[in-house]
Structure 1
Amino acid sequence: MNIVLLGSGNVATNLALALKAAGENIVQVFSPNLENAKAIAKNVGSKSINSFSEIDRTADLYIVSVKDDAIAGVAKNLKGVDGLIVHTSGTTDINILSSEVKHAGVFYPLQTFSKSRIVDFKTIPLCLEASDHHQLDILTRVAEKLSDKVYVVNGDKRKVLHLAAVFACNFANHLYALSHQILTKNDLNFDLIKPLITETADKVLFDYPENVQTGPAIRRDESTINKHLAMLSDLPELQEIYQTLSNSIKLVHK
């Protein structure tokens, strides 16, 4: 299958390599920043472009992997294309494409991506949606080459998945960053709590998170909570986060 990849960010970088490894032919990589397009294209044997006028309009599949607020603008520049056009967003409706192009879909990989860390797509849930059954069949065939976990998920359910992912991934990572801040401020190495992070993540793979919750809040250990809040007296924003999360844990575990 001939594929045009539009985007050069974290998702696009990982997706390009996965598609290449699966035997798909990426004919072009588009980015407004030509150097960014070249960085991906050279790794997948593709042509890099930075102008919509250069896009091959005979490809089978166009994957729009850009920021959510840029999807509509890209779609307008793909009017008249006969191939299937999909975006990779967790929160954007399919109709942002279907209102502009003939054949539309969504190819949402439920994972966190970084350019510096290439992930194994075989373990990633791929959430698909398409404007009709034929387009869904096309998208499914591509997805099944990449992953063992392919699901048809409508827009409303996909948005819920993305919301849950923000809590499980983005917010959790931010809390790691705050832990790092606290440790660094007190001349302690972040490596000291990495085994704790690993064990916490491992436990929820085998049980529901609410069943393995630990810490002073679930124990109603107000003495420890107050000591921690006092230690954060010079960091009121962290005090607020600590108090909010402690209250949330207490509410869940009444």
Structure 2
Amino acid sequence: MRITIIGAGRVAYHLARVLSEQHEVVQIYSRTLEKAQQLAEQFKAQAIAQPKELLSDVDLVIIAVSDQSIASVIEQIHPYLPHNLIVHTSGSTHLDVLKKVHARAGVFYPLQTFSLERDIDWQTTPLFIEAANEQDQTLLLELAKSLSKRVYNYSSSQRLSLHLAAVFACNFSNYCYDMAKQVVDAENVDFSLLYPLILETANKATQNDPRQMQTGPAMRGDQNILNMHQQMLEQSQRNDLAEVYALLSQQILQRHQSS
């Protein structure tokens, strides 16, 4: 397939990288030409910074920009690509955001966390597709299967629930790791000592019901330990961590008292 990518950030980079292995990335479009050039040079694509430069002889256009920019991007590029299949890569943006402007609209959402410093295992990454018509749905299905073994036809509402769950499972949990590191850094303790615990927790949560795997003082209702931890955080003047600790402990306590 001949593919154009709109955007030059983390998602755009990882998509360009994996797609270029089996398909042709024709253009990289970014409002900042320098960013488009940096990405395009890696995959032998043309870098552009104006919608009027978009080529229409492509099979697919992928919008890989921030959620809040999707609506404005489709407004900008639709006049130049009125008959092309255009998809976005967002988990939380409804298909209708594209569809109300562009007839051949779709979604190509990888459920993954993207960092420039880390490679992605695309074969195991779930890909969720949706399209305004059956023919484009088939095309996206074929493309997705060329990248991943886990491909799903999900509606916008199903995809939104996954995106919300991903924020809890990924973004919030990573912030908890960040808070844990702040705690041990304050006492010059090696954060890597927590690695086996972090990995075992993730393994248990992915192999069992997370509720059944809950441990810790809040789950046990151990108020002495909870109070001690709270005092430690308050005495270290880490009110931000103290607030999160109190909120999460209370929620865990309530969750397991009702069991």
| TM-score class, shorter | over 0.9
> What's the C-alpha RMSD, in Å, of the aligned pairs?
1.1
1:153-192: CA deviations, max 9, x gaps? 1011111100000000000001111111111111112111
Q: Which amino acid aligns with 2:6?
A: L
1:18-67: CA deviations, max 9, x gaps? 1112x111100111122221222122221111111111122110000001
Q: Which amino acid aligns with 2:10?
A: N
Cα contact 1:220–1:250 (8 A) shared by 2: yes
Q: Equivalent residues in 2 for 1:100-119 (5 A)? A: 100-119=101-120
Structure 1 Cα separation of the partners of residues 40 and 52 of structure 2: 18
Q: How far does residue 203 in structure 1 lie from its aligned partner after superposition?
A: 1.2
Shift >3 Å, 4+ stretches = none
Q: How far does residue 78 in structure 1 lie from its aligned partner after superposition?
A: 2.2
SS at match of 2:130: strand
1:69-101: CA deviations, max 9, x gaps? 111111012224211100001111111111111
Unpaired runs of at least 5, structure 1: none
Residue 245 of structure 1 corresponds to 248
SS at match of 1:188: coil
Q: How far does residue 102 in structure 1 lie from its aligned partner after superposition?
A: 2.4
Structure 1 Cα separation of the partners of residues 201 and 32 of structure 2: 40
Q: Equivalent residues in 2 for 1:38-49 (5 A)? A: 38-49=37-48
Residue 2 of structure 1 corresponds to 2
SS at match of 1:205: helix
Percent of pairs identical after alignment?
Answer: 40
Query: Alignment partner for residue 236 of structure 1, among 230, 239, 242?
Result: 239
Q: Equivalent residues in 2 for 1:94-133 (5 A)? A: 94-133=95-134
Structure 1 Cα separation of the partners of residues 77 and 99 of structure 2: 11
Unpaired runs of at least 5, structure 2: none
Structure 1 Cα separation of the partners of residues 25 and 32 of structure 2: 18
SS at match of 1:123: coil
Q: Which amino acid aligns with 2:87?
A: V
TM-score by structure 1 length?
0.97
TM-score by structure 2 length?
0.95
Structure 1 Cα separation of the partners of residues 167 and 78 of structure 2: 32
Residue 78 of structure 2 corresponds to 79
Residue 68 of structure 2 corresponds to 69
SS at match of 1:218: helix
Structure 2 Cα separation of the partners of residues 11 and 146 of structure 1: 15
Structure 1 Cα separation of the partners of residues 75 and 225 of structure 2: 57
Give yes or no for the alignment of 1:193 onto 2:173: no
The total of aligned residue pairs comes to: 253
Structure 1 Cα separation of the partners of residues 38 and 148 of structure 2: 24
Structure 1 Cα separation of the partners of residues 197 and 31 of structure 2: 42
Structure 1 Cα separation of the partners of residues 101 and 243 of structure 2: 45
Q: Which amino acid aligns with 2:120?
A: V
Cα contact 1:78–1:101 (8 A) shared by 2: no
